C-alpha cells in the first residue's frame, strides 16, 4: 500500500521501519527533517507537509505529540483532509482526546474518508520489534482494510468499537501503567533505603507475584542509570491529564491516577520532562 506517515519520533521511527520492511511504500513528514534521515536511507520518501504526504496515499497515519498536533495534521491548511483522495483511510495512532477522535471521525466520514483512532502501547521496543498493542476505534470495514498495515507494526490488534473507543481503551491502559510505575519506583526505593542489593532484589520480585511490565522492562534501565525515553515523561503527563479529563466528565474518582499526576508533575518540575517515564524512580531516590 501507499502510506503517508506523519511523526517520526521515538515511536514513529520503528513503526515506519517495519512498514517499509513489510513492503509498503511510505512517504514521511516530520517537523525536523533530520529525524527522518535514517528512514529515508531505508527507502522512505520525503514530503514537505502532511498534505503532500497524503496526496495519492491509500492510508495516512498521524503519530504526533499532542491533540493540538493531531488536529493540525488532519484539519490544518496543510492537513490530510485537504489533499487525500476520496476513500483514503485516515488513522491517528497518537494517544489523544476521545472527544477529538469522535469529532475528526465525523468530519472525515462526511468528506468521504475512512477514519480510525488507533493508539498503541509497547514503547520504543515494541515499535522497533513490531510487537505493539493497537487499540482501534471506528467502523469494522475500515479496521479490516487497515489490517495489513497494523500487522506490520503490532501483534495484539483489537477493534474496541465506535470512533473514540480506541482512545478510551488507551487511556485505561495508561491508568494501569501509572499505578504500575509507582509500584516499581516504590519497590526499588524501599530496597535501596534498606540496603538490599537492587539487582538481586529485582531478580526475585520480577519473577513472582509482583512482576509487571515496568519491573521487567524499565527497572533494569533504572539500575543501569538509563533514563533515556522509551516514552517521554511529558507525553505521559499529557496522557494522565486526558484520562483525568474523562474521569471528571464521567464523575469517576481514581485516587491512584491522581497520585500519579502529582508525582509526575514533580518529575517535570525537576526538569525531567524529556526523560523516560522510569525517571519517576530517580525522584524517589532523591528524597
Length of the chain: 287
67 and 100 Cβ atoms separated by less than 8 Å: yes
User: In this structure, how many other beta carbons lie within 10 angstroms of the beta carbon of residue 194?
Assistant: 8
Q: How far is CA 2 from CA 23, 125, 139, 154, 215, in A?
A: 10, 25, 21, 18, 39
Active site residue: 33, 85, 111, 170, which one? Answer: 170
Q: How far is CA 245 from CA 54, 57, 252, 263, 267, in A?
A: 32, 34, 10, 18, 21
137 and 110 Cβ atoms separated by less than 8 Å: no
User: In this structure, how many other beta carbons lie within 10 angstroms of the beta carbon of residue 268?
Assistant: 16
Residue 35 appears among annotated catalytic residues: no
* Cell numbers at 249, concatenated: 466528565
> Catalytic positions, please?
170
Amino acid at each position: 500500500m501507499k502510506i503517508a506517515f506523519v511523526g517520526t519520533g521515538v515511536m514513529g521511527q520503528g513503526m515506519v521501519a517495519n512498514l517499509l520492511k513489510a513492503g509498503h511504500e511510505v512517504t514521511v513528514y516530520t517537523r525536523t527533517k533530520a529525524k527522518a534521515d535514517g528512514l529515508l536511507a531505508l527507502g522512505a520518501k520525503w514530503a514537505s507537509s502532511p498534505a503532500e504526504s497524503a496526496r495519492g496515499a491509500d492510508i495516512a497515519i498521524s503519530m504526533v505529540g499532542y491533540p493540538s498536533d493531531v488536529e493540525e495534521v488532519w484539519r490544518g491548511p496543510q492537513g490530510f483532509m485537504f489533499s487525500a483522495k476520496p476513500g483514503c483511510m485516515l488513522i491517528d495512532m497518537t494517544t489523544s482526546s476521545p472527544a477529538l477522535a469522535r469529532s475528526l471521525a465525523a468530519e472525515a466520514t462526511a468528506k468521504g474518508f475512512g477514519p480510525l483512532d488507533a493508539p498503541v502501547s509497547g514503547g520504543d521496543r515494541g515499535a522497533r520489534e513490531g510487537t505493539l498493542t493497537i487499540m482501534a476505534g471506528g467502523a469494522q470495514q475500515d479496521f479490516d482494510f487497515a489490517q495489513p498495515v497494523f500487522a506490520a507494526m503490532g501483534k495484539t490488534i483489537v477493534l474496541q468499537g465506535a470512533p473514540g473507543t480506541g482512545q478510551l481503551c488507551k487511556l485505561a491502559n495508561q491508568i494501569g501503567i501509572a499505578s504500575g510505575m509507582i509500584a516499581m519506583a516504590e519497590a526499588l526505593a524501599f530496597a535501596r533505603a534498606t540496603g538490599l542489593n537492587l539487582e538481586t532484589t529485582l531478580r526475585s520480585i520480577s519473577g513472582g507475584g509482583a512482576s509487571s511490565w515496568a519491573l521487567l522492562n524499565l527497572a533494569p534501565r533504572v539500575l543501569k542509570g538509563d533514563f533515556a525515553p522509551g516514552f517521554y515523561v511529558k507525553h505521559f503527563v499529557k496522557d494522565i491529564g486526558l484520562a483525568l479529563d474523562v474521569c471528571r466528565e464521567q464523575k469517576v474518582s481514581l485516587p491512584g491516577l491522581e497520585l500519579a499526576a502529582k508525582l509526575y508533575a514533580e518529575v517535570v518540575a525537576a526538569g525531567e520532562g524529556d526523560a523516560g517515564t522510569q525517571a519517576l524512580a530517580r525522584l524517589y531516590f532523591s528524597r
